[in-house]
Structure 1
Amino acid sequence: MIYHIPVLLQESIDGLQIHDGGIYVDVTFGGGGHSREILRRLPANGHLYSFDQDEDAARNILSTEADGSERRFVDDERFTFVRSNFRYLHNWMHYYGVEHIDGLLADLGVSSHHLDDEQRGFSFRFDAPLDMRMNQRAHETAADIVNGYAEEQLADIFFLYGEMKNSRRLAAALVKARQQKPIVTTQDFVTIMEPLVKRGREKKEMARLFQALRIEVNHETDALKEMLTAATALLAPGGRLSVITYHSLEDRIVKNMMKTGNVEGKVIQDFYGRIDSPYKLVNNRVITPEETEQERNPRSRSAKLRIAEKKEPHERE
């Protein structure tokens, strides 16, 4: 089974403008597709740091040979794997003595592997434990949330992260159901939610509900904001930020950072009324996959690629 099919592979790596002696970061290693392409283009004196918090992804840096022995994903001095959430980007770069980076790639959202793994609880296609932890060393699962959060908290999650207009009804149904018995599997959750989603839109709305829970379980919005803030501080002048998003919430955060220099999108103007942002946009319009890629990889249909470049000091004067 293919672990994960990288989305917008050539476009996102092209956006980094990899150059001699550069230091690059792939904060979403997954199956290693983007990292492999970065290394293919990286000169001998460059370096790549790849992050992933998932134990399954960590296994991808090893492969089993025909004789049963294991070798590294890349036996390459230019490559360092960091098993950690990308929200700790600043801490790890400091640990490795890296003061500046020349490019950062992020392929956000959930991987093909997570959706296809019948035991992880990321998809409503399978009856599995209601888990959804990307880092399986974390304590809180999706089941803990639906059984333990207050009704108002659940409503907020479905409204903010799933954009569900009937979030209060959904939350009330969960609270009522859990009083009868705990909600422990994906099928338990689907059975409760299904009567409340719009007819003809069941798959789309169920996907939004699962998305909302997943974001809360993994604290994805907070992690993204912290990573982007750290990346902005770490990027050298001329360095590139190449980010692939899949839903409006994360895309809004990325767009805010690239346009204004902060995740809230607060516009700060200089004396002449110009927006004082550390970035200049490389692509004013988002890059989306061509039809051939969308047909080959359905996950790519909602993908948007944004690329920005850190301004030189004189460009901010």
Structure 2
Amino acid sequence: MNQSLHQSVLLQAATEALAINPSGRYLDATFGRGGHANEILKKLNAQGRLDVIDRDPEALLVAGNLADSDSRVTVFAGDFESVITEQLSPDTYDGVLFDFGVSSPQIDQAERGFSFQKDGPLDMRMDNHSGDSAADWLAVAGLDEMRQIFWRYGEEKNARRIAQKIIDARDDQPLTRTSELADLVSEVNKAYSKKHPATRVFQAIRIHINDELGQIERSLPESLALLKAGGRLVVISFHSLEDRLVKRFMKKQAKPIKVDRRMPIMPDNLPQATIKIIGKPVKAYEVDANIRARSAVMRVAKRL
């Protein structure tokens, strides 16, 4: 396995944003191939600790090797929502890092089914050992369901036409290969120029299959509870749908509850802001070296 295939986005910026205490405890909730994790470990002393989470079997092999060589590392297998809500304790961490999206090795390995540019099984699961694959879903999804998914998660303007074309095609033969789906979508989206015609549909299916946005929305409040007072939450998003969720969450948590000051008796212990937003959103600067970083945005907050 070639780890050099994956370039962690905003590596130095994210590590600096965590404001690492050398003897603190940190959580890398999206381990990937360990780029951020290794950078965090460089700044920890012998008393520091790093917990990492991933559900991808190959990422877990890399994480396991890291834990075997460094006793400061503990690995949790599973999606970050389940691990955070079921296995981790509140007020534990000095920093929590999320790096959303798909890693380069996942895209580059045709057998994982994430790429519209390489022929492989139509899979797209982050954990390819469980759950329904993209092919499973496309075999049974109705017209309206596909249309809604393609539009909601891919903002695909030809969502209905593509959904109908998939239904027509599967009546003759099930879609099982990435090239089959990419060619089918390309027949509808002939006018696209900068992006591959199938980009939006592949993104939408991947997000749906892995419940990516749902996991983000449910996990952000839970991850905030994991932080100690003063702990940092660092989140890297790769498309507007992810970043919108993060932005709204942080904005809401940074504001105290508003009340009508004209009330005759003010209630005690009014909920206050739970976080302070640190700095402005940071965009990826390594775009020339890593084209997949072009849309990355990092947001940082500190728990109050």
TM-score normalised by L of structure 1? 0.87
Residues 14/281 of structure 1: CA separation in 2 closer, same or farther (3 Å cut): same
Which piece of structure 1 moves more, 2-11 or 48-57?
2-11
Q: How far apart are 1:268 and its partner, in Å?
A: 4.4
Question: What is the one-letter code of the residue matched to 1:186?
Answer: T
Q: Percent identity?
A: 37
1:240/1:310 contact within 8 Å kept: yes
Q: Which runs of 5+ in 1 are unaligned?
A: 64-71, 312-317
Comparing 223-232 and 119-128, the one that deviates more: 223-232
Residue 112 of structure 1: aligned partner: 104
**Displacement of 1:166 after TM fit?**
2.0
- What is the aligned partner in structure 2 of residue 67 from structure 1? none
> Which of 106, 109, 121 pairs up with 2:113?
121
Matched residue, 2:293? 300
Tell whether 2:168 aligns with 1:214: no
Q: Is the 8 A contact 2:11 2:36 kept in 1?
A: yes
Alpha-carbon contact 2:110-2:121 (below 8 Å) kept:
no
Partner secondary structure for residue 114 of structure 2: coil
Residue 147 of structure 2, aligned match among 155, 179, 187: 155
Q: Following TM superposition, by how much is the alpha carbon of 1:279 offset from its aligned partner in structure 2, in angstroms?
A: 1.5
Residue correspondences, number = 294
Asked if 1:93 corresponds to 2:88, the answer is yes
Q: Partner of 1:106: helix, strand, or coil?
A: strand
Deviation of the 1:44 alpha carbon: 2.3
Does the CA-based 8 Å contact 1:281-1:308 persist in structure 2? Answer: yes
SS at match of 1:80: strand
The corresponding residue for 1:84 is 78
How do residues 199-278 of structure 1 correspond to structure 2 at under 5 angstroms? 199-201=191-193, 203-261=195-253, 268-270=257-259, 276-278=272-274
C-alpha distance in structure 2 between counterparts of 1:57 and 1:14, whole Å: 24
1:201 Cα deviation from its structure 2 partner: 2.7
Residues 284-295 of structure 1 mapped to structure 2, 5 A cutoff: 285-290=280-285, 293-295=286-288
CA distance in 1, matches of 2:46, 2:213: 35
Alpha carbons of structure 1 residues 130 and 202: separation in structure 2 relative to 1, 3 Å: farther
Instruction: Tell me what 2:166 maps to.
Output: 174
Note if contact 1:238-1:309 (Cα within 8 Å) is conserved in structure 2: yes
Q: 2:19 aligns with which of 13, 17, 22?
A: 17
In structure 2, the residue corresponding to 1:122 is in which secondary structure?
Answer: coil
Q: Distance in 2 between matches of 1:91 and 1:210?
A: 31
Aligned with residue 275 of structure 2, among 252, 259, 279: 279
Letter in 1 for 2:25: I
In the alignment, the residues of structure 2 paired with residue 142 and residue 7 of structure 1 have an alpha-carbon distance, to the nearest angstrom, of 27
Q: Secondary structure at the match of 1:128?
A: coil
Shift of 1:250: 0.6
Does the 8 A contact of 1:6 with 1:34 survive in 2? Answer: yes
Q: Partner amino acid for 1:180?
A: D
1:21-36 matches, cutoff 5 A? 21-36=23-38
Q: CA RMSD in A?
A: 2.3
